[in-house]
Homo-oligomer: A and B are copies of this chain.
């Protein structure tokens, strides 16, 4: 009951192991009759390739590392899910690395851990691109939703458009004093473009956002942060009739803060999120959000990675994906 090897298949098909290998790798120059015979033999003996042997001989593992800060935030879980499915469709295995802090993110990317993996797709939390520039990694890296950096490919989602759309939506349904709730780690570019969308939508309507209404909580946890930010606004006596949250998690926290301070959503305050995570549809009231078209993001990320694996040598590229408003009850117009 030994697990069958290439040689077993070869013997049965009456060819050499190399030919079997050629068939399985879909190499050119294999006669159709031979291929059929080999494939049949594969079936008969129940052969399955030994990844270790292949990996050793080819220098490739066929495995991509996906790095996320955690899986308990729906955005990361859903993104990881999409990536895994997309990679599987292209014949790659994925290994999931959880990198909750900057050090482990660095670790995961720079081969220290996850030594075997032909490439890395990372949803960065801290990733400031610094360490990628200082210590050049030895395999392709694609960043999903971070600030474009020198050497790595980046997929940026339609943050500017998305925030513009959601802000416009609120302004056009009669809201005038909009709060913007960041998450505490917003320092880099991407949050910048979110901010831009927020501002430009105001200006397009001849309005100017109130700087006093742009806040963030301090907590690591995004939802707690959203709660804290809104609680802070209320405590300091600011008034507002709409809240644009930087993502759904922050919005969920904000929602709870609004309710526990007696503000009704959407009657007193309209609320919007971003990412259109699964949870958005099931909050009470359902949360208006922006869908980042995550299938597109995943596909683009994998595309870029595979191009690199196929030998592409170029400076870091950037691809942009779209985003569209998903209106729900949390931002319904006041009756």
Contacts and interface: CB of A to CB of B under 8 A. Distances in A.
Contacts of A233: none
Contacts of A125: none
Interface string A1-45: 001000000000000000000000000000000000000000000
Given A95-B93, A223-B282, A256-B282, A81 B74 contact: no
Contact of A284 (B53, B279, B283): B283
Contact of A55 (B55, B78, B114): B55
A43 to B, nearest CB: 12
Copy number of this protein in the oligomer? 2
Interface in A155-213: none
A98 B81 contact: yes
Nearest to A3: B138
Contacts of A85: 98
Q: Which of A54, A114, A283 has the most chain B CB atoms closer than 10 A to its own CB?
A: A283
A63 interface: yes
A56 interface: yes
29 contacts: A48-B115, A50-B115, A50-B116, A51-B116, A52-B52, A52-B53, A52-B55, A52-B56, A52-B61, A52-B116, A53-B56, A55-B55, A55-B56, A56-B56, A63-B95, A71-B78, A71-B80, A72-B74, A73-B278, A74-B77, A85-B98, A93-B95, A94-B95, A95-B96, A253-B282, A256-B284, A256-B286, A283-B283, A284-B284
Given A3-B138, A72-B77, A73-B278, 13 more contacts: A48-B111, A48-B115, A51-B116, A52-B53, A55-B55, A71-B71, A72-B74, A72-B81, A77-B77, A84-B96, A95-B95, A279-B279, A283-B283
Instruction: Please provide the 9 A-B residue pairs with the shortest distance between their CB atoms, ordered closest to farther.
Output: A52-B55, A77-B77, A71-B81, A51-B116, A52-B56, A71-B77, A72-B278, A96-B96, A259-B284
